Amino acid sequence: MKVAVIYYSLEGNTKKVAMKILDKLNADIYELKEVKSVIPKTGFLKYVWGGKQVVMKEKPDLEELNINIDEYDCIFIGTPVWASTYSPAIRSFLSKYTIKGKKIGIFCSHSGGLGNTIQNIKDDLPGNDFITEIDIVDPLKNDIESNEKIDKWLQTINI
Ligand SMILES: Cc1cc2nc3c(=O)[nH]c(=O)nc-3n(C[C@H](O)[C@H](O)[C@H](O)COP(=O)(O)O)c2cc1C
């Protein structure tokens, strides 16, 4: 079973979850990065620009990933919640690659409003087997609770 962990993270929360998955599973990791990052990491403007990207269904150009999706049996996809759904970088990723017949795990971080994030990813990845999912509230801020939740979740994953 070959596993890939693919994630986007503006401020490091989703990255933290990705790294914990990596500690537990033998996986290759890929971070999605915009070619031109227009979203500030701090301050109110990140919500304005990020929210606009979501509403406009923008697909920002991503740096080359050098991934061969066909190699993998199982893919974990990680995203922060932006405006109640997945981040625009994930939209770019999903539209660029054909993902079918895979086992899929979904992880996301948010500040208390998961919205439709997980369901939207599932809807946009038809023809796959969704094996597990988790959402974590502000994993960097809630370090201890989030570590416990992630560790418990990881114990349930049998691949
Ligand atoms: C543009 C934008 C929109 C956001 N929308 C939501 C939201 O709808 N619900 C929520 O709970 N958190 C929202 N957040 C907060 C992030 O989901 C949260 O801080 C997350 O942990 C950040 O993950 P990251 O550090 O991996 O980028 C939003 C953040 C940004 C930048």
pLDDT in tens, 100-112: 999 999 999 999 9
Rounded to 10 degrees, what is the CA torsion of 67, 60, 97, 127?
130
**Ligand 1 pocket member 113 (CB < 6 A):** yes
Q: Answer yes or no: is the C-beta of 110 below 6 A from any ligand 1 atom.
A: yes
* Nearest-atom index, ligand 1, CA of 85: 8
Cβ of 10 below 6 Å from ligand 1:
yes
The residue type found at 158 is: N
Q: How far is the CA of 47 from the centre of ligand 1 (A)?
A: 8
**CA separation for the pair 25, 76 (Å, rounded):** 11
pLDDT band at 118 (very low <50, low <70, confident <90, very high): very high
158 has pLDDT over 90? no
Look up the domain containing 68 and give its range. 3-155
| CATH code for the domain of 59 | 3.40.50.360
How many domains does the chain divide into? 1
CB 72 within 8 A of CB 3: yes
